[in-house]
Amino acid sequence: MKLPEPESKAAVVEAMFDRIAPRYDLMNRLMTFGLDRRWRREAVAALELPAGAMVVDLGCGTGDLCAEALRAGCRAVGVDFSARMLEQAAARGLRCALIRADAANLPLRDGLADAVVSGFALRNFADLRAVLREAFRILKPRGRISLLEVDTPSWAVLRFGHRIFFNRVVPQLGKFVDRYAYAYLPSSIEYLPAERQMMEMLGAVGFSEVAKRRLMAGAVQLVTARR
């Protein structure tokens, strides 16, 4: 499918997530066979945070990563620009702040957070570099970032199966919820920078100790770094 142009991407993505918010969690569980919960736990665990640490979740959606941070004994702030996604998060009764804002222009003070997380949102940001700069700004010195995203398996056989599932099965499942959204989501992997480019982007912002772990045979990536 044709992806939105840079100048219209933010508006298109916001409207799309507003539409699918009520069924978003259900579709995540179906598409990942429930494994997305484990990946989010791993994203929070990778931060190695003490109890009481402040975690900011960028593109928080319905609040799954906020919930994991709270479960780990941390405090949490969720940020998203989709009002309906934030409504779904608020309905869960999570004991955290939820803020409607652009992740590239956060209404948060410098050095607020011990950690920043983001789950499957990088390809939806209109300006990823600006988002990473903001994450760096709000982190305390030596604070950590944990970025969970889709990826493409390196092994040819797995890559073929992943392509069939992601590009054919997912849109078929999603057409019962929102045909455009679940055609967009597989295609949006084109927005993601390649591994080397992602590492360089984080380094250019100021992050160090950049590392990448492959999950689910490379279908998912977990990138971590330190301020």
The answer to whether residues 144 and 84 touch, using CB atoms and an 8 Å cutoff, is no
Question: If residue 99 lies in a helix (H) or strand (E), which one and from where to where?
Answer: strand 97-100
Say which range, 27-31, 138-142, 175-179, has the weakest mean pLDDT. Answer: 175-179
Q: Which domains does the chain have, with CATH numbers?
A: 6-152+191-226 (3.40.50.150)
CB of 32 closer than 8 Å to CB of 219: no
pTM of the model: 0.89
pLDDT at 35: 83
How many Å apart are CA 172 and CA 162, to the nearest integer?
15
Mean pLDDT of 88-108: 96
Q: What is the mean pLDDT of residues 14-42?
A: 85
Residue 225 has pLDDT above 70, yes or no: yes
Catalogue the E-assigned strands of the chain. Answer: 54-58, 75-80, 97-100, 113-119, 139-150, 208-215, 220-226
> Would you state the pLDDT for residue 160?
59
Sign of the dihedral defined by the CA atoms of residues 12, 15, 21, 27, in that order: negative
Average pLDDT, the chain: 89
Task: Give the pLDDT mean for 77-81.
Answer: 97
Read off the amino acid at residue 184: Y
* Range list of H helices, 46-79: 64-71
